[in-house]
């Protein structure tokens, strides 16, 4: 690459969960592997699979029994989130050994800005890819371009173990002929709307009428048109994962309570508020904390860490009530608080949500709704990645002290 422009990388791990399992158990290498939330159940869903499985027709969201018909030798494994998180940390440690300008966007993908890193960029990129494979035994594809959008599109062009450079001058013949449904940020519903304007390819979007786009999709229509023309001003932001540390609600009770059913009802109400605010912020969490202030003003906090994501009000309430009952000694309670911590962007954590919901046999109705949406186009932006309405952003508080310690009645 030449010139004085930015050099942005999108690193996308190939069949991440399956690859981690194969790295952990070398005897699985070269075999057809699938990860499913509940492999013992015939109705279990394939969430990710190895390239060997894909070559036999196995696909994401396919039921396990269907996958086994296509590929009888398929090895179906339960997810091991601890193992995947450890591998993810090791990957990002390698990336950060080259520059601090690293932005994780999910457990298995992230951006790097190597503009200021000395040396030949292509040699550096090959070294990064080789190191991840050599040190962690994990394959990845890397997209290279002047901005995030083009790099994301480029990393999808050659898998596994691809390195694809996408220059702005190449978008007309490399990007524009692609179906609009393959564009990052365009889900099935958006694609259907665009089709009403006879927009079927990325090139059609690049030359579309701006007024019609704005009427159809609002400001997002103009953003998508800019992306289709290779315009994306978003910077690599190493701090973006720390935007939200927690989401919580607390309330001072009208009177000191000792009635267990009344206290549990309050926790349910707080959990519902927390769930609504997580939804507004498009976040999920992996830790839960409760606060109990007693009549004598003594205050305690108790927390737990979970392997599955928290975002549904029933699940939050269930865990919060269990934690409360474990630590409440019957003393009159003056204040209660519920907080979800260890947050991640829901749209970038769709794989974890997917695995969780099927592992729990779609125990909660809201999860089922999310899953139906996810299954329309798995991971292609049906949950808008990082895009929030102006109203949502306006209403979203980020300060922990303001967010949790203030009373919300």
**pLDDT tens track of the chain, all 409 residues?**
544 589 999 999 999 999 999 999 999 999 999 998 766 665 678 888 999 999 999 998 888 989 999 999 999 998 888 898 899 999 999 999 999 999 988 889 999 999 999 999 999 999 999 999 999 999 999 999 999 999 999 999 999 999 999 999 999 999 999 999 999 989 888 999 999 999 999 999 999 999 999 999 999 999 999 999 999 999 999 877 655 568 899 888 989 999 999 999 999 999 999 999 888 877 888 899 999 999 888 889 999 988 778 889 999 999 999 999 999 999 999 999 999 988 877 655 544 444 444 444 333 333 444 444 454 444 444 343 333 333 333 333 222 222 322 333 2
Q: How far apart are CA 112 and CA 319, in angstroms?
A: 37
**If you ran DSSP here, which 8-state letter would residue 242 be given?**
G
Annotated binding-site residue numbers: 12, 108
**If you ran DSSP here, which 8-state letter would residue 180 be given?**
G
Is pTM beyond 0.75? Reply is no
Residue 397 annotated as catalytic: no
Q: Where are the beta strands (DSSP E) in 227-332?
A: 246-257, 283-294, 299-310
Cα 298–chain centre separation: 38
Q: How far apart are CA 33 and CA 46, in angstroms?
A: 10
21, 103, 109, 319: which one is catalytic? Answer: 109
26 CB-near residues (< 8 Å, 6+ apart) = none
Annotated binding-site residue numbers for Mg(2+): 12, 108
* DSSP per position, 377-395: STTTTSS-SS---HHHHHH
The answer to whether the CB of 11 falls within 8 A of the CB of 140 is: yes
């Amino acid at each position: 690459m030449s010139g004085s422009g930015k050099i942005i990388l999108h690193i996308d791990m190939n069949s991440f969960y399956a690859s981690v399992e194969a790295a952990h158990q070398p005897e699985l290498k070269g075999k057809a592997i699938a990860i499913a939330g509940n492999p013992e159940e015939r109705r279990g869903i394939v969430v990710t699979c190895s390239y060997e499985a894909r070559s036999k027709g196995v696909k994401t969201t396919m039921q396990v029994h269907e996958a086994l018909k296509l590929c009888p030798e398929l090895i179906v494994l339960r997810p091991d989130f601890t193992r995947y998180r450890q591998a993810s940390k090791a990957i990002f440690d390698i990336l950060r050994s080259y520059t601090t300008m690293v932005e994780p966007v999910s457990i298995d993908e992230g951006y790097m800005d190597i503009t200021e890193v000395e040396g030949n960029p292509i040699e550096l990129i090959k070294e990064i890819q080789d190191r991840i494979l050599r040190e962690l035994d994990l394959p990845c594809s890397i997209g290279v371009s002047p901005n995030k959008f083009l790099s994301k599109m480029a990393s999808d062009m050659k898998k596994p173990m691809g390195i694809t450079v996408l220059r702005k001058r190449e978008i007309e013949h490399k990007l524009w002929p692609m179906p609009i449904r393959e564009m990052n940020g365009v889900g099935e519903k958006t694609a259907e709307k665009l089709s009403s304007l006879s927009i079927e390819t990325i090139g059609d979007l690049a030359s579309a009428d701006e007024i019609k786009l704005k009427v159809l999709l609002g400001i997002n229509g103009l953003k998508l048109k800019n992306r289709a023309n290779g315009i994306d001003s978003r910077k690599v932001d190493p701090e973006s994962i720390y935007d939200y540390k927690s989401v919580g609600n607390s309330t001072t009770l009208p009177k000191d309570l000792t009635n267990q059913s009344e206290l549990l009802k309050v926790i349910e109400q707080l959990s519902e508020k927390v769930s609504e605010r997580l939804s507004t912020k498009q976040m999920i969490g992996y830790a839960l904390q409760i606060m109990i202030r007693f009549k004598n003003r003594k205050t305690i906090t108790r927390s737990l860490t979970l392997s599955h994501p928290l975002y549904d009000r029933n699940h939050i309430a269930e865990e919060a009530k269990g934690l409360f009952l474990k630590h409440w000694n019957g003393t009159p309670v003056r204040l209660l608080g519920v907080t979800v911590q260890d947050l991640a962007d829901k749209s970038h954590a769709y794989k974890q949500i997917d695995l969780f919901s099927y592992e729990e046999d779609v125990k909660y109705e809201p999860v089922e709704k999310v899953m139906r949406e996810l299954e329309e186009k798995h991971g292609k932006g049906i949950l808008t990645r990082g895009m929030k309405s102006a109203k949502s952003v306006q209403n979203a508080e980020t300060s922990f002290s303001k967010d949790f310690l203030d009373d919300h009645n």
